[in-house]
Amino acid sequence: MRWKRDMTPEEKDAYYAYQNDCYRRQGDRSKLNAAFKLMRKRGLLALQAYQCCSNCAGYAITEKAVKLISSGRKNKEDIRGCCFYHRQDAEDRDKGRPFYVRYGNIDSEEYGEIGEDTEKVGRVVGEALKEAGVSYDWDGSPHVAIEITDW
Quick: pLDDT tens for 97-145: 889 999 999 999 999 999 999 999 999 999 999 999 999 999 999 999 9
Start-to-end CA distance of the chain, whole Å, equals 30
What single-letter DSSP state applies at residue 5?
A: G
The angle that helices 118-132 and 30-41 make with each other, rounded to 10 degrees, is 140
> What span, in angstroms and rounded, lies between the C-alpha atoms of 69 and 21?
37
pLDDT given for residue 5 in this prediction: 65
Q: Which of 130, 138, 58 is nearest to 98 (CA)?
A: 138
Contacts of 102 by beta carbon, 8 Å cutoff, 6+ apart:
54, 57, 83, 84, 85, 145, 146
pLDDT cut 90: percent of the chain above it: 72
- Chain mean pLDDT for the chain: 89
pLDDT band with cut points at 50, 70 and 90 for residue 95:
confident
Question: Are the C-beta atoms of residues 140 and 147 closer than 8 Å to each other?
Answer: no
pLDDT band at 2 (very low <50, low <70, confident <90, very high): very low
